[in-house]
Amino acid sequence: MKLNDYKLIFVAVGLIGALLIASPAIAGAIRPPGGEQFSELYLLGPDLMAENYPYNIVADQNYSVNIVVGNHMGSSAYYTIFVKFRNQTDTLPNTTTATPSPLQPLYEYKFSIPNGQSLVNPVVFSVSDTPTLGNQSIIKQITINNIKFDVNKPATWDSNSTKFRYGLFFELWLYDVQSTSIQFNSRFVGIQLNLTRTL
């Protein structure tokens, strides 16, 4: 073998050794594509359990739920939760078309969550006392976390289920870096409420 052949072997062995030594650092710097990126949204009752959700409500009494958001986006994420109130004819969000409800939000939470973590947002609410007019009830105000909102939301007596049906629901929006705006994250949760009145 010639001297040049030994030099080539020495250089090749040196390069392979350098790559083996540097491989942990390279593995840390280069991230292989991960799994699906997503956000979690779910609702817990007043005791942070999936039970005892408010349903039959009366005026001027406080009720509570907890909205939980989990971040599995691969990095920190900035979220907004919009709280909305509906009667039985108002439109809910459509997660298939990623379309939020056209109802105006009453209350909002803005927060960031590091990747792999979750945040609990407590909600305390009550409705105002309103008279029943014939087969219709009107909730004029709802209070969310000590802030009052005028809603003037009518509901017609449902004779099949014997209820005045309302709903409180929560839409999850996520800040999009490319568009520099928040966008509906195609996730929402809510509770049905029956204003306990009899005709």
Same domain, 67 and 137: yes
List, for residues 148-195, the tens digit of each pLDDT value: 999 999 988 877 766 788 999 999 999 998 999 999 999 999 999 998
Same domain, 26 and 42: no
Same domain, 59 and 145: yes
Same domain, 165 and 87: yes
List, for residues 44-53, the tens digit of each pLDDT value: 999 999 999 9
Same domain, 48 and 89: yes
**Structural domain containing residue 122:** 38-195
Same domain, 125 and 78: yes
List, for residues 95-139, the tens digit of each pLDDT value: 999 999 999 999 999 999 999 999 999 999 999 967 666 788 889
Those residues whose C-beta lies under 8 Å from the C-beta of residue 39, and which sit 6 or more positions away, are 69, 70, 71, 72, 73, 77, 79, 172, 174, 185, 187
Same domain, 3 and 100: no
pTM: 0.79
List, for residues 57-85, the tens digit of each pLDDT value: 999 999 999 999 999 999 999 999 999 99
Residue 99: DSSP 8-state: B
